[in-house]
Amino acid sequence: MNYQARFQQPPFDVLTEEQRLQLIKAASLSWYKPGEKLLKAGSEAQSLMIVQKGVIEERHYKDKQKIYAHYAEDDLFDVRGLVDGKVRHEYICLEESLVQEVPAGLFLRFCEDNKAFREGLQADLSEKYHRLHEDSRPEIADFLLSRIERNHCRPAKTVSGHLSLAESVRILEDEHLDALLVDLAPSESGLGIVTRTDLLRALAIHQKPLSCEVGSIAIAPLISIELGDYLFNALLIMTQRRIERLTVFQGDELVGMMDLTQILSLASNHSHLLAMRIVRANTVDELIDLSPEIDKQARSLFSNGVRTGFVMQLVSTLNDQLLKRLFELHFPTEYQDRICLLSLGSEGRGEQVLKTDQDNALIISDGIPKPDAHILEGFTKLLLACGWPRCKGNVMVSNPHWVQTQSEWQKRIVHWMDNSNPENMMEMAMMADARAVAGNEQLMDEFQDNLNVAIGKRESFLSTFVAPALQFDTRLTFFGRIKEGRDHKMDVKKAGIFPLVHGIRSLSLEQRINARSTMDRLAALKKSGKLEADRASKLEEAFLVLNRLRLEQQIDESCDGNELDLDALDYRRRDMLRHCLHTVKKFHQYLRHHFHIDG
Amino acid sequence: METAITEKLRYSWLNFQNRRQYADFQRLFGPVPEDELISLDLETSSLDPDTNEILEIAAIPVQGRKVFPGKALVLRVQPEKELNPDSVPVHQIRGKDLENALQPKDALEQLLSFIGRRPLVGYNIRFDQKILSRYCQTYFGFKLPNAIRELSHRYYRKKLHSQPEHITDLRFEKICEDLDIPVLERHTAKGDALTVALAWLKMM
């Protein structure tokens, strides 16, 4: 443990060397005993406190049950109290704590003198208090990442500079162009540009004769951009130079032209472009080529701070389109409105960002023969080619167990409820998240109705169904600290995400809510008054934050799957994680109480 | 009681004498600041307090319940004799580390003006006191006037009070382990002085 290393980390990382020295010089260490009050509500904060060891609890000054946060190693408080000049809550020592203190005066002087420090803290505060308000304009981030491609460019027509104005206008008109490139050889400028507006001005205002050479009014040199540059840069150049057109080159080769309206339309529709390409694909091979783009887009959107919920939504839309198109191209036409392709599990809920295993099933209309095994196996292989690995649990259309007729599914529902072993509960949970992605959606609606009716008859069954949500430890100690485990890793799915998803799924089944995604289910539960607004928004926050933490590590590849590397989390993320696990723990209690489960 | 009075008289006498002779060290003989301590640790060339030489001094101020490691005074001291290579494992200081070290007299002057009249706390602090007194005597003609506080004594008293049946292990490492003091800095003079300060404060 190096107590001074903390001063190199946020928010102190932006201090100047001299400021950091002042900080080190002024910082003191002292012990606090359990029960001791570090900060009193209503008092003036004397110092910024950084926990070196131990746990401090922030709670309401009257209502001792109302706990706002726990602070452990490397956490600091109370920034808000220092900035406002007044501490709002009580800070009590829970475990014997070693606390580093920075005098308030010095801290406030840094805030005044160092803009980055101040802004970092403000961002910190707002992140803490509005965690979910990430970038609210996702399409902009989306756009920032795109590079100029050939299909963004319009063909450019190059004409000789000796052409007359009349002929130039004719070409513009005939070829539906709004600008021409003009070859100015043998002058040194090379190429120039003439737009419709330039021609109008020359003819109407400067009253040039129609026979005048177009080269004389062309504007040179061209302002151009390289193929592969960021779209955003193109926009920047246009804005800076107050022009509306850019020529695009690849080395010396002229690729085409881009204009402002086009870029702006790309700015808002980039993801739609991918969707369009999927819908327009005419062969399975085209789709296979397109599928990695979805993953790429998901990663870049996410890394750019786009809201987790939004990325999930976008990715699931794109994946749905891909699945639907694959379905249309693969299954014989006579089957298409008599079977229904389902996405199950997280894909059914629309909560995937990176592709995970295939989780699909089929419902077949009663009275028609099931599709041949080679067709089904072929579909699974197609999905494999598109980047969905085979499912370890074999939940795939190539497995006859998941390809059933309407009446067979009906029987299956009864079978699950009569034999509530873990395997059946898992199957039922998968199907409770099922969503129709292609084919005849009525088949899915019917299944859903049957499921709802069956549960209506056996309400008590849900207390068995919900049980798996409670089987994993929330990994919090009695004092609300994170249990690190030996390897400093945590299975975030078991500790947090699964209990939330499954608990909310059970509550939705109980209320016959047909929504699929955890967020939609929460919204419906809140709307129907079954879940208090406060609880619902806490659960929503915890769900999104846990997913985000997992994704962050999946994307920078410090974690494949669900094992969160606790050492890689900065103190802010640890704090968030702790909050979320606390919410999960409370949710456990709620579920136990709600479904009358003992223990 | 009697010893306290004799001590006091002795200091007064010293005070009177020294104030005339050593105007530079007035702070040393002024009033003792209340509620303040210095956690002190020395690295020496050997374990014999009559002949060894100071190689490094670390002094960390303690005020009330707070320790200020960032305000520590850390001095490297040039020994007069060549370093005995056999003692390197004890203090971990090589001749090379002492290239920019201070002359003993300069180091002592800095230390005395830094600590003022504050009591010194340390583990086996008598050892350090003895050496510093020897140095003071040599260079300035008076003994180190600061009072001392022994970490292990306080620990022993505390244990005697709470768990009299347990004969306690008074080794430094054991005390720190028992008190669960985090090791914040490496095993250097400053690191040890900080550990002592934290252990001292934890027993308050």
**A112 and A171 fall within a common domain:** no
Report the distance separating Cα A363 and Cα A403, nearest Å: 6
Q: Collect all residues of chain A within an 8 Å Cβ-Cβ radius of residue B71.
A: 25
Indicate whether A431 belongs to any domain: yes
Mean pLDDT, range A442-460, rounded to an integer = 89
Mean pLDDT, range B81-98, rounded to an integer = 69
- What was the pLDDT predicted at B75? 93
- The answer to which of A281-295, A304-318, B29-43, B147-161 has the lowest mean pLDDT is A304-318
Report the distance separating Cα A464 and Cα A195, nearest Å: 73
The answer to whether A495 and A473 are in contact (CB under 8 A) is: yes
Q: Collect all residues of chain A within an 8 Å Cβ-Cβ radius of residue B196.
A: none
Interface test with B, best of A1, A21, A28, A96 (most B CBs within 10 A): A28
pLDDT in tens, A519-559: 899 999 999 988 888 888 889 888 988 888 888 888 777 66
Nearest-CA residue of chain A relative to B72? A25
Establish, for the pair of chains A and B, how many residue pairs have beta carbons separated by less than 8 Å.
44
- Cross-chain Cβ contact A25/B71 below 8 Å: yes
- What was the pLDDT predicted at A552? 81
pLDDT above 90 for A84: no
Q: What are A36's two structure tokens?
A: 């001791």
Q: Assign A207 to helix, strand or coil.
A: coil
Report the distance separating Cα B133 and Cα A399, nearest Å: 88
**A415 and A288 fall within a common domain:** yes
**A155 and A260 fall within a common domain:** yes
Amino acid at A156: A
pLDDT above 50 for A53: yes
Contacts of residue B116, Cβ cutoff 8 Å, sequence gap at least 6: B27, B28, B30, B33
Q: Which residue has the higher pLDDT, B22 or A340?
A: A340
Domain limits for position A553: 466-594
Q: Could you give the C-alpha distances from A206 to A14, A209, A216, A290, in angstroms and in order? A: 58, 9, 12, 51
pLDDT above 50 for A79: yes
Report the distance separating Cα A493 and Cα A397, nearest Å: 26
pLDDT in tens, A135-171: 333 444 455 556 788 877 888 888 998 899 999 999 9
Domain count across chain A? 4
Q: Is residue A469 very low, low, confident or very high in pLDDT (cuts 50, 70, 90)?
A: confident
Q: Which residue has the higher pLDDT, A178 or A408?
A: A408
Q: Could you give the C-alpha distances from A53 to A49, A99, A100, A484, B176, in angstroms and in order? A: 12, 7, 10, 15, 15
pLDDT above 70 for A60: yes
pLDDT above 50 for A115: yes
Q: What are A39's two structure tokens?
A: 């900060």
* Domain harbouring A526, CATH code: 1.20.120.330
Mean per-residue pLDDT of chain A: 84
**A184 and A230 fall within a common domain:** yes
> Which CATH number describes the domain made up of B2-149?
3.30.420.10
**A433 and A297 fall within a common domain:** yes
Contacts of residue A372, Cβ cutoff 8 Å, sequence gap at least 6: none
Mean pLDDT, range A22-27, rounded to an integer = 92
Q: What are B169's two structure tokens?
A: 């292990």
Q: Which position has the token pair 């120039």?
A: A192
Q: Assign B83 to helix, strand or coil.
A: coil
**A259 and A300 fall within a common domain:** no
The answer to whether A470 and A588 are in contact (CB under 8 A) is: yes
- What was the pLDDT predicted at B174? 87
- Cross-chain Cβ contact B66/A1 below 8 Å: no
Q: Collect all residues of chain B within an 8 Å Cβ-Cβ radius of residue A52.
A: 182, 184
pLDDT above 90 for B123: yes
Report the distance separating Cα A155 and Cα A148, nearest Å: 14
- What was the pLDDT predicted at B24? 59
Indicate whether A329 belongs to any domain: yes
Angle between helices A308-330 and A260-280 (to 10 degrees): 50
Domain map of chain B by residue range?
2-149
Nearest-CA residue of chain B relative to A25? B70
Beta-strand relationship, B54-63 and B120-122 = unpaired
Is any Cβ of chain B less than 8 angstroms from the Cβ of A101? yes
**A99 and A182 fall within a common domain:** no
The answer to whether A220 and A191 are in contact (CB under 8 A) is: yes
- Cross-chain Cβ contact A31/B66 below 8 Å: no
- Cross-chain Cβ contact B182/A29 below 8 Å: no
- Give the one of A3, A28, A30 whose C-beta lies nearest to B184's C-beta: A3
- What was the pLDDT predicted at B105? 92
Is any Cβ of chain B less than 8 angstroms from the Cβ of A352? no
- Cross-chain Cβ contact B69/A2 below 8 Å: no
Contacts of residue A505, Cβ cutoff 8 Å, sequence gap at least 6: A429, A432, A433, A518, A521
- Cross-chain Cβ contact A28/B67 below 8 Å: yes
Q: Could you give the C-alpha distances from A98 to A68, A484, B79, B109, B182, in angstroms and in order? A: 21, 20, 37, 33, 9
What's the gap in Å between the CA of A72 and the closest CA on chain B? 15
What's the gap in Å between the CA of B14 and the closest CA on chain A? 34
**A214 and A258 fall within a common domain:** yes
- Cross-chain Cβ contact B68/A28 below 8 Å: yes
Amino acid at B151: L
Mean pLDDT, range A279-290, rounded to an integer = 85
Residues across chain A: 599
Indicate whether A145 belongs to any domain: no
The answer to whether A40 and A87 are in contact (CB under 8 A) is: yes
Contacts of residue A59, Cβ cutoff 8 Å, sequence gap at least 6: A66, A67, A68, A89, A90, A92
Region of A256 (left: φ > 0; alpha: ψ -120 to 50; beta: rest) is left
Q: Is residue B135 very low, low, confident or very high in pLDDT (cuts 50, 70, 90)?
A: very high
- Cross-chain Cβ contact B182/A31 below 8 Å: no
Nearest-CA residue of chain B relative to A33? B202
Q: To 5 degrees, how large is the angle CA A17–CA A19–CA A20? A: 65
Q: Collect all residues of chain B within an 8 Å Cβ-Cβ radius of residue A101.
A: 66
- What was the pLDDT predicted at A419? 87
Q: Is residue A404 very low, low, confident or very high in pLDDT (cuts 50, 70, 90)?
A: very high
- Cross-chain Cβ contact B182/A53 below 8 Å: yes
- What was the pLDDT predicted at A137? 39
Instruction: Name residue A223's beta-bridge partners.
Output: none
* Range list of H helices, A246-368: 260-280, 284-303, 308-330, 333-336, 345-349
- What was the pLDDT predicted at B97? 74
DSSP per residue, A214-235: GGGT-B-SPPEEETTSBHHHHH
Q: What are B18's two structure tokens?
A: 């020294």
Which residues 3-32 in chain A show a CB within 8 A of chain B?
Answer: 3-4, 23-31
- What was the pLDDT predicted at A139? 45
**A304 and A179 fall within a common domain:** no
Mean pLDDT, range B126-132, rounded to an integer = 94
Q: Is residue A132 very low, low, confident or very high in pLDDT (cuts 50, 70, 90)?
A: very low
By the 10 Å C-beta count (0-12 exposed, 13-18 middle, 19+ buried), B53 is classed as middle
pLDDT above 70 for A91: yes
pLDDT above 90 for A364: yes
- What was the pLDDT predicted at A446? 92
Q: To 5 degrees, how large is the angle CA A419–CA A420–CA A421? A: 100
- Cross-chain Cβ contact A30/B65 below 8 Å: yes
What's the gap in Å between the CA of A386 and the closest CA on chain B? 53
Nearest-CA residue of chain A relative to B198? A30
Cα torsion through A483, B185, B183, A50, rounded to 10: -50
What's the gap in Å between the CA of B98 and the closest CA on chain A? 24
pLDDT above 90 for A134: no
Indicate whether A17 belongs to any domain: yes
What's the gap in Å between the CA of A62 and the closest CA on chain B? 28
- What was the pLDDT predicted at A133? 38
- Cross-chain Cβ contact A27/B66 below 8 Å: no
Burial A385-402 (b: 16+ CB within 10 A, else e): ebebeebebebbbbbeeb
pLDDT above 90 for B100: no
Task: Identify which of A26-35, A136-145, B31-40, B166-175 has the greatest average pLDDT.
Answer: A26-35
Q: Collect all residues of chain A within an 8 Å Cβ-Cβ radius of residue B65.
A: 30-31
